[in-house]
């Protein structure tokens, strides 16, 4: 891991300064941090006169439409190899899907990330696991070179901070995160606006589905494990879509005294996706791994074959190995 020292930031700027044609790429299935960081960086480098192509071959989640991805992001994989490729919110070309080859073949590359390192890729790497979001890395880069932060750039970075910290509620939120958010707010955008845009976006079908998920919640005898389940029938009756379950597991986690929260969702006949959250009492990442999935220690997922009942039984049996029940 590097830190955001003056030397590290200087080294990255040296690579940026040497290139005119830049491709900015983010990981597949981009989230608010990948999108917001990539957009702010793109606008910042353009302000310095560079020819920057922000490329994402996939559609971006609708809730981020206010960041105008349609105008800023190209979906076509570039034919020419870029002079410089920038990897945002990940640290290996493979994470970018269809852009992998273009990223890997660029003569120069810069990695901007806040995840634990998984490679040594990059002419320059600016990564810091202490940052709540890659947006903190991009912010530090821009401020280091005194690149003016416009309203659009501030809004993109603040969106990244708000979403990657769950509205400053996750333990990754540190004083510096709030100070950066304060500075970004001084450019015009507000946390209230952004939180409304990204959090107050449920459909009626989504709330009806949430009603069914909440109604299904069960608690383990000691009250430390809670789980909810949704069948294909629940989606049919409510008209909700799989993406409408975003955040449901956090609702289950909101139960007083609960350490581990689980949502089991039937994705297709005989296939059940399971999402886990833990406050630290149980390493749900290890449990998910044992079930053929993976993730972080405190947030993980797996897909099980079989009925909802079968999946529920397997999940509970596995959890009993990792935590008191």
**Interface positions with its own copies (CB under 8 A):** 167-179, 181-183, 185-186, 190-193, 195-196, 199-204, 207-208, 210-212, 214-215, 217, 219, 226, 251-256, 258, 279
Task: Say if residues 284 and 323 touch (Cβ distance below 8 Å).
Answer: no
Q: What is the number of alpha carbons within 13 Å of residue 95 lying toward its C-beta?
A: 20
CB of 162 to its own copies, least distance (A): 8
Residue located via tokens 């991805």: 69
The distance of closest approach from Cβ of residue 111 to its own copies in the complex, given in angstroms and rounded to an integer, is 27
294 to each of 59, 290, 303, 306, 316, how far by Cα in Å? 25, 8, 10, 19, 17
Which C-beta is closer to its own copies: that of 175 or that of 269?
175
Cβ proximity to its own copies: between 126 and 194 the closer is 194
- Reading the block at residue 242, the tokens are 């799989």
Residue 79 or 186 with smaller CB distance to its own copies: 186
Q: Considering beta carbons, is residue 48 or 192 the nearer one to its own copies?
A: 192
Question: Which residues partner with 108 through β-bridges?
Answer: 84
* Contact status, residue 147 vs residue 44, Cβ threshold 8 Å: yes
* Shortest reach from residue 269's CB to its own copies, in Å: 26
Q: How far is the CB of 138 from its own copies (least distance, A)?
A: 18
Residue whose CB is less far from its own copies, 86 or 210: 210
CB of 201 to its own copies, least distance (A): 5
Q: Which is nearer to its own copies, 47 or 219 (CB)?
A: 219
Tokens of 122: 């990059």
| Cα-to-chain-centroid distance, residue 260 | 21
Residue 175 CB, nearest approach to its own copies (Å): 4
CA dihedral 317, 319, 321, 325 (to 10 degrees): -90
Closest distance to its own copies from the beta carbon of 130 (Å): 14
Q: Cβ distance 29 to 95 under 8 Å?
A: no
- Cα–Cα distance list, 322 to 52, 138, 253, 291, 317 (Å): 48, 38, 17, 13, 10
Question: Nearer Cβ to its own copies, position 223 or 306?
Answer: 223
């Amino acid at each position: 891991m590097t830190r955001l020292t003056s030397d590290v930031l200087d080294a990255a700027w040296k690579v940026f300064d040497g290139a005119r044609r830049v491709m900015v790429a983010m990981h597949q299935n981009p989230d608010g941090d990948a999108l917001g960081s990539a957009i702010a960086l793109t606008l910042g480098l353009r302000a310095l006169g560079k020819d920057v192509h922000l490329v994402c071959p996939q559609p971006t989640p609708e809730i981020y439409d206010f960041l105008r991805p349609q105008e800023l992001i190209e979906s076509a994989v570039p034919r020419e190899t870029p002079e410089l490729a920038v990897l945002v919110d990940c640290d290996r070309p493979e994470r970018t899907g269809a852009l992998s080859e273009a990223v890997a073949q660029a003569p120069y590359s810069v990695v901007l990330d806040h995840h634990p390192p998984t490679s040594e890729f990059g002419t320059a790497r600016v990564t810091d696991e202490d940052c709540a979001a890659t947006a903190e890395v991009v912010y530090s880069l821009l401020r280091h070179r005194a690149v003016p932060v416009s309203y659009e750039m501030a809004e993109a970075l603040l969106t990244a901070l708000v979403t990657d910290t769950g509205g400053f509620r996750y333990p990754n939120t540190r004083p510096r995160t709030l100070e950066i958010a304060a500075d970004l707010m001084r450019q015009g955008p507000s946390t209230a606006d952004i939180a409304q845009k990204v959090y107050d976006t449920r459909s009626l079908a989504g709330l009806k589905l949430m009603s069914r998920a909440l109604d299904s919640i069960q608690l383990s005898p000691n009250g430390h494990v809670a789980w909810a389940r949704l069948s294909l029938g629940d989606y049919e009756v409510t008209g909700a879509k799989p993406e409408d379950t975003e955040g449901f597991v956090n609702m289950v986690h909101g139960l007083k005294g609960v350490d581990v929260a689980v949502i089991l969702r039937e994705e297709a006949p005989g296939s059940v996706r399971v999402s886990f959250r833990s406050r630290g009492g149980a390493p749900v990442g290890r449990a998910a791994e044992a079930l053929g999935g993976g993730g972080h220690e405190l947030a993980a997922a797996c897909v099980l074959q079989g009925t909802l009942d079968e999946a529920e039984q397997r999940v509970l049996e596995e959890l009993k190995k990792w935590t008191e029940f």
